[in-house]
Structure formats: C-alpha cells, structure tokens
Amino acid sequence: MLIINDLHVLVGEKYILQGINLIINPGEIHIIMGPNGSGKSTLAYIIAGKNDYKIIKGSISFEGHNILKMSPEERAYLGIFLSFQYPVEIPGVSLYNFIKTAINALYKARNLNQISTSEILKKIHKTANDLGLDKDLLKRSVNEGFSGGEKKRNEIFQMTMLEPKLAILDETDSGLDIDAINIIYKGVNNLIKKNNSVLIITHYQRLLEYITPNYVHILYKGKIIKSGNKNLALEIEKKGFNWFFKNKIQ
C-alpha cells in the first residue's frame, strides 16, 4: 500500500532523512519511535504532501501512485490522512463546517455520490458521541482556543469522519490522559477493522497496552536503525535509543 524507497531529504541545508525504507500493507499498524529531532514529523509531513522539503533521492508510492508529485489534497483523495503533532487553528471556520466541506470535497474528488447534509450531520454527531468530543467544539472555530487534549481529540474525530486508508498519527498520544488514549485506540480500531492502515509516531509504551502493532521501527538521526515487533518497544524502554544506535554502528 505504502512503499517508501531510499528517501533522502533536506530541509534547507540540513540533511534530515538519510535513506528511509518502509513498507506498510493494508490492515497493518506500524509504530515509529525515536528521540526528538530524529525526523519523525518530517517523514509524516512528506507523506502528507507538505512542500517545505527538498527530496534529493528516493520515492514514495501509495497504491501504485507516485505521490511525491501530488498536492496534499490529491493525497487526501487517495486516502492519506495526517493527525498533526501541532494541530493548526483556523479562525472563523467552524469545525462543523470544516468537516462538512472536507467530506464533500473528498466525495466529489472520488466521484462518489454526494451525501446529504443531514446524513453528514448524523455521522458527525454519532462520531462525536463515540469519541466523547464536546459538542460545543463543533460550533467553534477549528482548534481555536481548544485545550491541548481537545485538539488531539479533534484530530481523531476528523480521522474517523474521513475514514482514510492510511492514517498517520504524529504524537497524537502526547500529553493525553488515559481516557483520551482510549479514544485513539477506538479511532485506530475503527480503521483497522476496515482493513485500513495506521502509522503511529509516539514516545510512549502505554499505547501498546491498547494497540498491538505489526511492526515497531526506531528512527534515529534520519535513519530507521531497527525494526521489530511489539517487543522492540519494550526493549527501547529498558535500554534507551542510544543503545540501539551504538550497537548498530559497532
């Protein structure tokens, strides 16, 4: 589904991603862990289509499409979704209107029959209910004045509404209490049930109490230095990232 092949990326003069290889198949959950500054968000942004980067080598294909040439919206049409590490505030646009517009845009681009406003409304309310998203937030401007937790919930809410084929969760669990972690679990589960895939970027073990990944990868200084299963995450917990780095280069 997603194939990243030998991806090298510069931001300005800085060599951030130094040869990333990653394959994600339908229905899989991947976790990427790594210290701050190792390039996790950069990787997420590049998959989603942010164009602040210089790609000097490599390719990304999604369901057979070479997506590096595509705009962010074209990638969204294909089914790629990014839950932002730092969700952006959009003053003056209500969350309700925003999600409605997004759904209509996706349906139109995919040549699907438009769904009626009342149907969207129903789905919005059901999803908000399921995820424990405060209904008042729907009427407010997207993320404006939302607490940190509310912003993250909102990302999961949007993800659930848009039902992507590949969702990338960039530290969505950071700074959340157990209740909120449970919401991520629900959101991820909803996707996996339908054979969609999830790429989770996280610092924490505790997500693993809920979610069982197919793969865990360690991203360190722009390279995936080790991949494994759930147990790898536990090892990281014990030994720290540096241990893996040193043992790899020895």
Partner 1 sequence: MKNFKEKIIYTFLMYKKKNIFNSEDEYIKNMRNESINMINKNHLLNEEECKDLFEKYKLSFNKNHNKSFITYKILKNYLLKINGFRIVFINGVYNKKYSYINEYIDILSNYFYLNKNNNFKKFYNKLINKNNIYNILNTAFIQEGIYINIPNNFIINEPIHIIYFSYYEHNNIIFNTRNLIVVGENSNVNIIEQYQSLNDNSIINNSLTEVYALSNSNIEYFKIQNDINSSLIDNTFFLQKKNSKCSIYTFSFKGKLIKNNLNISQDGQGITSYLRGITIGKFKESISHNTLINHKYPLCESYELYNNIFADESNGIFNGKILIHKDAQKVNAFQEINNIILSDKARIKAIPKLEIFANDVKCSHGCTIGPLNKSILFYIRSRGLSEKKAKLLLINTFFEENIKYIKLYDLKNFILYLINEIINSINY
Binding site for Mg ion (CB under 5 A): 40-41, 85
From the CB of 135, what's the least distance to Mg ion, in Å? 30
How far CA 214 is from CA of 58, 167, 194, in Å, comes to 24, 15, 16
Binding-site size for ligand ADP (CB under 6 A) equals 13
The C-alpha atoms of residue 104 and residue 190 are separated, in whole angstroms, by: 21
The closest of 100, 102, 92 to 143, measured between CA atoms, is: 92
The C-alpha atoms of residue 138 and residue 241 are separated, in whole angstroms, by: 40
Among positions 36, 113, 147, 250, the unique one binding ligand ADP when judged by CB under 6 A: 36
Is 127 one of the binding residues for ligand ADP (CB under 6 A)? no
For residues 158 and 202, which CB has a smaller minimum distance to partner 1 in the complex?
A: 158
CB neighbour list of residue 179: distance below 8 Å, 6 or more residues apart:
132
**225: part of which helix (H) or strand (E)?**
strand 223-228
Is 53 one of the binding residues for partner 1 (CB under 8 A)? no
CB 216 within 8 A of CB 187: no
For residues 72 and 149, which CB has a smaller minimum distance to partner 1 in the complex?
A: 72
Binding-residue pattern over the window 106 to 135 for partner 1, x denoting contact by CB under 8 A: x--x--------------------------
From the CB of 119, what's the least distance to ligand ADP, in Å? 37
The C-alpha atoms of residue 186 and residue 6 are separated, in whole angstroms, by: 33
Among Mg ion, ligand ADP, partner 1, none, the one that 16 touches (CB under a kind-dependent 5 to 8 A) is ligand ADP
From the CB of 148, what's the least distance to partner 1, in Å? 17
Report CA 240 to chain centroid distance, whole Å.
Answer: 24
- List residues binding ligand ADP (CB under 6 A): 11-12, 14, 16, 34, 36-42, 52
